[in-house]
Amino acid sequence: MSNAIPPAEQSGAEVLLRALKDQGVDVIFGYPGGAVLPIYDALYQQNSIRHILVRQEGGAVHAAEGYARSTGKVGVVLVTSGPGATNTVTGLTDALMDSVPIICLTGQVPTHLIGNDAFQEADTTGITRPCTKHNYLVKDSSQLARIIHEAFHVARSGRPGPVVIDLPKDILINKAPYVAPEEVRHKSYNPRVKADPDRIAEAVDLIAKAKRPLFYCGGGVINSGPRASELLTQFVRMTGFPCTLTLMGLGAFPASDPLFLGMVGMHGTYEANLAMHGCDVMIAVGARFDDRVTGKLSAFSPNSKKIHIDIDPSSINKNVHVNVPIVGDVAHVLEDIIALWKRRNCKPDGKALSEWWAQIDQWRARECLKYRQDDKIIKPQYAIQRLYELTKDRDTYITTEVGQHQMWAAQFYKFEKPNRWMTSGGLGTMGYGLPAAMGVQIAHPDALVIDIAGEASILMNIQELSTIAQYRLPVKAFILNNQYMGMVRQWQELLHGGRYSESYTAALPDFVKLAEAFHCVGLRARTVAELDDVIKEMIETDRPVVADIVVDEKENCFPMIPSGAAHNEMLLGPEDKAAKPTSEEGMVLV
């Protein structure tokens, strides 16, 4: 970076928009207020950046997350000071946990008022420090452009994450110089993408010798870009090894491939979890050994050697000790592994592998996702299966809220490609799905975007229906309505003696009328016979639709690894529950 500061000709707000434009931003999600009025004034006088007016700032962050995760680009949020900024905290934490690149521009009171408890003042950098990858308070106009470019670099490189830029009002009004993105280099933050070749060689040795191998892949594959998913698919098929995905990884490997074992973890498939438990070589790719995946740590995959590919060194050896840690970007690492595999002409141990597959096929034969659908009350699983069948040939993107419906969506909706599945995995944010779907639809105007929702979750950000109506976004909200916070009810049933404390929602709104009040189309299915027609009508309607699917109130989500249990202690269905009471140690876990 040259030391000469160029002349300041534009206001800070104009410099900000110019920097955003140079960073390739074409849309921002926001809500105006006093401290950011100069930015809104500058927005009014230009045409290159589109602003989407949300109904609450929390919705803006989730919308930006949906936008970012379905495109691989950085999502941008613009909010005012004080409550505008504090409302973004949940979304920022969500983006931090799920590694979503977000730039959140927050207004701030003028620099001379900072610390004076001014109107709509909050210590935004203090509040957001633990829930962002990094944050900035701009105190000097000459640094404004540099900070914006640097923030984009931090948000999108390495393990992506949210970055807050706090902008005092005087900085937005005063003249500021502009510097182009190319002129900004960060001194200390330049994450490594290429891995150590020695580690690559160790990994290839281990993979070639494996007798009961398993690929365990997560959201890091998707964050690395579509090329990473292609390379992963290529390598898995080359080896013929089984592959399981985490909740965040769905779509990184085609679900229709016979090598795919389904999702792993608390509500993962029987075969995936038992393969995790029984494998001798685990190849973890962009997955972070989350507690929802590992179950009881001391009993987690006890006899396997573990290879762990991750761009974030702090993810390695955090929960589980691994034998071959590989720090690098998934696509780069897989490229190197495949090249070495080919160069050495490696062949997997065919005999051992076919024995391993015979074992896996036995587990598969248990059909752990089986449920009984009668001809009347709609089972939630059936609703998602029908939704999948009727939408699979279209250009479809799925978002979810959090709870049972989310797990059923993960189990029954099959993803063939990355960036098609947007869910709140790490933080588990109810209310994520509707605004996220909005962001996805903005990025993909012609695609079919469906929020698979629960009736409790969707109410947490239902106001965004108003945004959806304003921009004529044909988002579909597919509500599995069981009148309960289903996952809470399920835990109360299994762990708290069926005492359903506060998990039933009395006086739910009439979702059909609610949809109409928000200028959307409302549909309802009460019986199996009505279901397909409602789904078809929902898909065919070129407007926002809220489909209220009345499902079985008492259905539980299985298989399930209870808290504190190991992978080989799964509950496969309701008849399993009495057999193994949850330990006290397990009860304290969430």
Is 133 in the active site? no
Instruction: Report whether 81 contacts 31 (CB < 8 A).
Output: no
What is the nearest approach in angstroms of other proteins to the Cβ of residue 456? 29
Is 57 in the active site? yes
Residue 114 touches other proteins, criterion: CB under 8 A: no
- The alpha carbon dihedral of 275, 281, 287, 289 has a sign of positive
What is the nearest approach in angstroms of other proteins to the Cβ of residue 297? 8
Instruction: Report whether 311 contacts 327 (CB < 8 A).
Output: yes
CA 316 distance to own-chain centroid: 20
Please say which residue, 50 or 129, places its beta carbon nearer to other proteins: 129
**Closest Cα partner for 406 from 288, 473, 486, 463?**
486
Residue 184 touches other proteins, criterion: CB under 8 A: no
Please say which residue, 129 or 513, places its beta carbon nearer to other proteins: 129
23, 56, 57, 485: the catalytic one is: 57
CA 368 distance to own-chain centroid: 25
What is the nearest approach in angstroms of other proteins to the Cβ of residue 131? 10
What is the nearest approach in angstroms of other proteins to the Cβ of residue 558? 30
Residue 129 touches other proteins, criterion: CB under 8 A: yes
Residue 189 touches other proteins, criterion: CB under 8 A: yes
Residue 130 touches other proteins, criterion: CB under 8 A: yes
Residue 226 touches other proteins, criterion: CB under 8 A: no
Residue 317 touches other proteins, criterion: CB under 8 A: yes
Residue 134 touches other proteins, criterion: CB under 8 A: yes
**What is the spatial distance between Cα 504 and Cα 452, in angstroms, rounded to a whole number?**
20
Instruction: Report whether 135 contacts 108 (CB < 8 A).
Output: no
Residue 313 touches other proteins, criterion: CB under 8 A: yes
Which backbone phi and psi does 165 adopt, to 5 degrees? -120, 115
* Of positions 133, 156, 306, 308, contacts other proteins by CB under 8 A: 133
What is the nearest approach in angstroms of other proteins to the Cβ of residue 449? 33
Judged by CB under 8 A, the stretch of 67-75, 81-89, 121-129, 432-440 that binds other proteins is 121-129
Judged by CB under 8 A, the stretch of 182-190, 256-264, 273-281, 457-465 that binds other proteins is 182-190
Torsion, Cα 422 511 55 486, to 10 degrees, reads -50
14, 121, 169, 570: the catalytic one is: 169
**What is the spatial distance between Cα 278 and Cα 297, in angstroms, rounded to a whole number?**
15
Burial of residue 212 (CB within 10 Å: 0-12, 13-18, 19+) is buried
Please say which residue, 319 or 359, places its beta carbon nearer to other proteins: 319
* Of positions 318, 366, 414, 519, contacts other proteins by CB under 8 A: 318
Is 487 in the active site? yes
Judged by CB under 8 A, the stretch of 75-83, 311-319, 334-342, 385-393 that binds other proteins is 311-319
With CB under 8 A, what is the number of residues at the site for other proteins?
20
Please say which residue, 115 or 581, places its beta carbon nearer to other proteins: 115
Please say which residue, 186 or 344, places its beta carbon nearer to other proteins: 186
3-state SS, one letter per residue, for 324-357: EEEECCHHHHHHHHHHHHHHCCCCCCHHHHHHHH
Judged by CB under 8 A, the stretch of 53-61, 100-108, 124-132, 387-395 that binds other proteins is 124-132
Is 45 in the active site? no
**What is the spatial distance between Cα 118 and Cα 257, in angstroms, rounded to a whole number?**
59
Alpha helices in 181-311 (DSSP H): 197-209, 219-223, 226-239, 270-278, 291-294
Alpha helices in 365-485 (DSSP H): 380-391, 404-412, 433-443, 455-458, 464-470
Residue 85 touches other proteins, criterion: CB under 8 A: no
Q: How many CB atoms lie within 10 A of CB 93?
A: 19
* Of positions 45, 47, 182, 187, contacts other proteins by CB under 8 A: 187
Give exposure, 62-77, as e/b (b: 16+ Cβ within 10 Å). bbbbbbbbbebbbbbb
**Closest Cα partner for 553 from 332, 383, 380?**
380
**Catalytically annotated residues:** 57, 119-120, 169, 487
- Binding footprint of other proteins on the chain (CB under 8 A): 125-126, 129-130, 133-135, 137, 154, 186-189, 312-314, 316-318, 321
